[in-house]
Amino acid sequence: MSARSEALNILYRIMHDDGYASLIMRESKIKKEEMASVTNIVYGVLRNYTYLEYQWRKYAKRTKLKTALAIDIAVFEMFFTNEKEYAILNEVHDLVNTHDQSFVNAILRKVQANGLQTTEVKEILYSHPKWIIDMWNAHYGEETTLKILEADQKIPKVYGRINPLKITKEQLMNDPSIHFINEESFTMHQSILASDYFKNGQVLIQNPASILPVKYLDVKEGMQVLDICAAPGGKTQLISSYMQNTGKVIACDLYEHRCQLIDQLMKKCGNTNVETKVNDATKVSFEEESFDRILCDVPCSGLGDLSHKPEIRYHLKPENIDEIIHTQKKILEISSSYLKKGGILVYSTCTLNKKENSGQIKNFLKEHPEFTCIEERTVFPFEEHYDGFYIAKLTKNQE
């Protein structure tokens, strides 16, 4: 199967079944030599989906999804890659049914003749639903929104993070392919995932923004720490490492198989003070005031991560947000009861939506005067090295 055919099948599952690109690609048996091409096509089409459709939909309003996606792939390669146009037009025939070939060819000839059509309509140009753009305009202003949109369309860098239990920054700095951006995070000229460092648990793949909640948690050796929504375990691993494998970290997830992923990561990375627990975070599961630190990295709409997960923008609907906010509120409410007086609770999301972020904290503090917000921060994806993130650091007052 060619890279284009593989990409088409993956895109169909994403758009037809509301699937997630990373999971579907992991399940697909993609040849090693075709992985880069498939990845480029899948994510390129997803990031530019609405804009690609804008190039040709005027010629064919009603088209079967798989045929439409084949056209999208061809248009993407025509305008966003260095592929030769004659090769694109020839090979798109292999992606569609025989009786659709002349129809698809006619559309692509028109698109080719007209060139890339631009527009000032942001939801088309940046392939973001209007309701998301309107929400960001209201929450952050038009200037910031435009910068978010531009950042979401870029191919994101992959960042590594050292595992201090197994390797030091000084040791890694001897490798000329590695470039550190701070004390813990780095980029690598080759694939981090394919490196021996990753295979040996010396480094993990983690965006610098997702390290911030752990920094704000300010853990100390010997503490009792709860990571209430822990999978896949990157933050848990860092918490445990900062504690030098002392005390205890309870890492929870709703599903057994995700807890097993955490266990596997801890074993690989040499973390010995982590205990996983299958747990519904919306229900009381622990004694009151039993933890020194609590991380609530809650489920969210994921709108800070749209360069990595562009499909979210097409799957998510406004009505989903209310359900998410309700779940977040329950998790924060219940988790807060587990915190000792004088302890720290960090609430974090990877989304850009004030209702899920500062609005959630504002409402919580109104109902819980025994808590104080020490610090909060919104990180935007246009800030160098960062995905979009929100962090609030709360403490439970002594009296």
- Is the same domain home to 139 and 29? no
Enter the tokens of residue 327.
């779940």
Q: How far apart are CA 355 and CA 327, in angstroms?
A: 13
Domain C-terminal end among 185, 205, 225 = 205
- Is the same domain home to 198 and 282? no
| Domain total in the chain | 4
- Is the same domain home to 237 and 137? no
**Residues spanned by the domain of 167:** 160-205
- Is the same domain home to 243 and 387? yes
pLDDT tens figures, 167-176? 999 999 999 9
pTM, two decimal places: 0.95
pLDDT tens figures, 369-379? 999 999 999 99
- Is the same domain home to 90 and 140? no
pLDDT beyond 70 at 194: yes
pLDDT beyond 70 at 60: yes
Q: How far apart are CA 228 and CA 72, in angstroms?
A: 41
- Is the same domain home to 175 and 253? no
Give the position of tokens 């995700």.
Answer: 258
Contact 50, 123 (CB under 8 A): yes
pLDDT of residue 85: 84
- Is the same domain home to 99 and 197? no
Contact 79, 47 (CB under 8 A): no
Domain C-terminal end among 144, 177, 205 = 205
Q: How confident is the model at residue 1 (pLDDT cuts 50, 70, 90)?
A: low
Q: How far apart are CA 347 and CA 114, in angstroms?
A: 50
CATH number of domain containing 55: 1.10.940.10
pLDDT of residue 147: 99
- Under DSSP, is residue 374 helix (H, G, I), strand (E, B) or coil? strand
Q: What is the mean pLDDT of residues 89-113?
A: 90
pLDDT tens figures, 112-123? 999 999 999 999
The sheet carrying 371-379 orders its strands as 274-278, 248-253, 224-227, 291-297, 339-349, 389-396, 371-379
Q: How far apart are CA 337 and CA 79, in angstroms?
A: 55
Domain C-terminal end among 205, 221, 238 = 205
Mean pLDDT of the chain: 96
Q: What is the mean pLDDT of residues 17-31?
A: 92
pLDDT of residue 32: 87
Min mean pLDDT across 101-105, 350-354, 383-387 is at 101-105
Q: What is the mean pLDDT of residues 309-322?
A: 96
- Is the same domain home to 307 and 183? no
Which whole-number Å values give the CA distances from 381 to 184, 237, 384, in the listed order?
Answer: 19, 24, 8
Instruction: Identify any residues that bridge with 275 across adjacent strands, giving them in sequence order.
Output: 250
- Is the same domain home to 279 and 312? yes
pLDDT of residue 365: 98
pLDDT of residue 270: 98
Longest dimension (CA), the chain: 76
Q: What is the mean pLDDT of residues 92-113?
A: 91
- Is the same domain home to 193 and 223? no
Q: What is the mean pLDDT of residues 351-365?
A: 98
pLDDT beyond 70 at 107: yes
- Is the same domain home to 218 and 284? yes
- Is the same domain home to 176 and 136? no
